[in-house]
Amino acid sequence: MSARPVPVPNVVTMAYVVLTAEPLDREDLVPLPDRALLRLRGSTVPDLDRMEELPHQRMVSRTVGPGAARLAAEEALQEAVELAMRHDGVIVDLQTPRIVEVPAPHPRPAAAMFTFEYDLEDLGTIRTHGLNVVGLPEVVVRGVPEDERRMYDMVVVGLVHRLLEEWPEHDPVGPARVTLGDITAGYEGGESGPDQKGVDVLIDYDPALPALTVEVMTSPGDALF
């Protein structure tokens, strides 16, 4: 395992675009993500159709240090939500990218802050997308059994919850334990709780990717249920 610490960026930027039928206080010309990409990241066809009917753009963004990134992302999103609700608009999260549900949960659980990458030619690998908004590298898990993919996805959600809670004060490289409490909090929000059932993982950092490479040491099905 590499002893190289995970680099911490000086600043990070998060940005959301509110699309409206009428112009707001200013017009921001922002290249929007491709429709096919938004669909791949979980946006619904009705939301995509409605997005194309709203020609005006207002961007909401923040640039902060990584220690303040999660709070800043929540503040920026809530500002975008308020604009969208007042003007019957649609929000596009430029980080993931995907269309944001309005009203959005506040604070957002870990599962709402990233998406999974799916490669039909490499179904045994899990990759996250969107963690760079808080300055974290993405997570990569290889060797995932096809029939356990859903369980491994759950472990990644729990791990991301832990990473978001501990970053950037704690470097994530090394052994860790993802508990049922972490997984529940990752999907629903809140704190992890005292649940001791968990999956042991080993985290390394690969600067060539760059990403956190995670080896799952125990079967999630056997360890959690």
Residue 18 has pLDDT above 70, yes or no: yes
Please answer whether residues 203 and 173 qualify as being in contact, where contact means their C-beta atoms are separated by less than 8 angstroms. Answer: yes
* Interior angle at CA 92, CA 91 and CA 94, nearest 5: 145
Query: Rounded mean pLDDT of 145-163?
Result: 95
User: What is the reported pLDDT for 99?
Assistant: 95
Which residue has better confidence, 1 or 24? Answer: 24
Q: Per-residue pLDDT averaged across 27-43, rounded? A: 92
Q: Give the confidence band of 1 by pLDDT, cuts at 50, 70, 90.
A: very low
HSE-up of 185 (CA within 13 Å, CB side)? 19
By DSSP bridging, strand 126-129 and strand 198-206 are unpaired
Beta-carbon neighbour count of residue 6 at 10 Å? 21
Mean pLDDT (whole number) for 195-204: 90
User: How confident is the model at residue 124, as a pLDDT?
Assistant: 92
Torsion angle defined by CA atoms of residues 101, 25, 64 and 212, in that order, rounded to the nearest 10 degrees: 30
Q: What is the pLDDT of residues 67-78, one digit of tens each?
A: 999 999 999 999
- pLDDT for 68 equals 96
Residue 220: pLDDT over 70: yes
Mean pLDDT to the nearest integer, 72-93: 96
Please give the helix or strand (H or E) that residue 68 lies within, else none.
none
pLDDT in tens, 164-199: 999 999 999 999 999 999 999 999 988 877 667 899
- pLDDT of res. 221: 83
Residue 181 and residue 194 in contact, taking contact as beta carbons nearer than 8 Å:
yes
Residue 173 CB neighbour total at 10 angstroms: 18
Least confident of 88-92, 102-106, 220-224: 220-224
Q: Is residue 219 over pLDDT 60?
A: yes
State mean pLDDT over 29-43.
92
Q: Calculate the average pLDDT of the chain.
A: 92
Write the pLDDT tens digit of every residue in 115-152: 998 777 888 999 999 999 999 999 999 999 989 999 99
The band of 2, judged by pLDDT with boundaries at 50, 70 and 90, is very low
| 81-106 mean pLDDT | 93
